[in-house]
Amino acid sequence: MENREIQIRCKACSGRFGVPPLQTFAWCPACHQEWKIKWLDSESGMIIAPVSWKDYQVKSRRILPNE
């Protein structure tokens, strides 16, 4: 069986990483964010959402120096 991966761009760190076709969850190896993957066809996968919006939204808050 063919052992290939489709490249997907992480929406958190913008790095690219490989995902086996039709796999519906994936971790970004660089930033460790876990994503839900939507397959438009067997060659075109895209990140549709984080596995947990709640965690993603809460942890995305950065405390900036002027706050």
Partner 1 sequence: MSKMAYISLTDETFRIEEIPSEQRKLFLGGRGINTHLLYQMVGEETDPMGPENVLVVGAGMLTGVAGIANSRISFSAKSPETGLLGDSAMGGFFGAELRYAGFDHLVIQGKAKKPLYLWIHDGKIEFYDASSFSTLDTLQIQTKIREDLKDPKIQVACIGPAGRNLVRFACIIHGLSHAAGRTGMGAVMGSKNLWAIAARGKSAIAVHDPRKLLEVVQKHYQQVTRTKGFLASSIYGTMIRLNNTRTQGYEGGLNHRYNMMEYGGEELDAEVFIERYETGKATCFGCPTACKHMFRVPRGIYQGMECEGPEYYGCGGWGSQCGCSNWETILEAWNLCAKYGLDVGSMTSYTAWLMELYEKGFTTKKETEGLSLEWGNSEAIIGLIRQVVENRGVGKLLAQGWIEAAKAIGKESARYMNHVKGLSIECDDVRGHRAQTLGLATASRGACHLRSRYTLEEFSLPEEATRRLTGRPVRQDPATYEGKEWACYWTECICSIADALGVCKFMTKWLSVGLLGFEEFIELIEAVTGMKLSIEEMLEIGERIYTTERLFLTREGITRKDDTVPEKFFKPWTHGPKAGTKIENEPFEKLLDRYYELHGWDRNGIPKSESVKKLGLEK
Report the interface residues with partner 1, using CB under 8 A: 9, 11-14, 38, 40-41, 44, 46-50, 52-54, 56-58, 60-62, 64, 66-67
Between 13 and 27, CB nearer to partner 1 = 13
Q: Which amino acid is at 52?
A: S
Please check whether residue 13 is in contact with residue 29, taking contact to mean a CB–CB distance below 8 angstroms: no
Whole-angstrom distance, CA of residue 18 vs CA of residue 12: 15
Which is nearer to partner 1, 23 or 53 (by Cβ)? Answer: 53
The structure tokens listed for 45 are: 């996968």
| φ, ψ at 6 (rounded to 5°) | -105, 135
Beta carbon nearer to partner 1, 1 or 66: 66
CB of residue 53 to partner 1, shortest distance in Å: 3
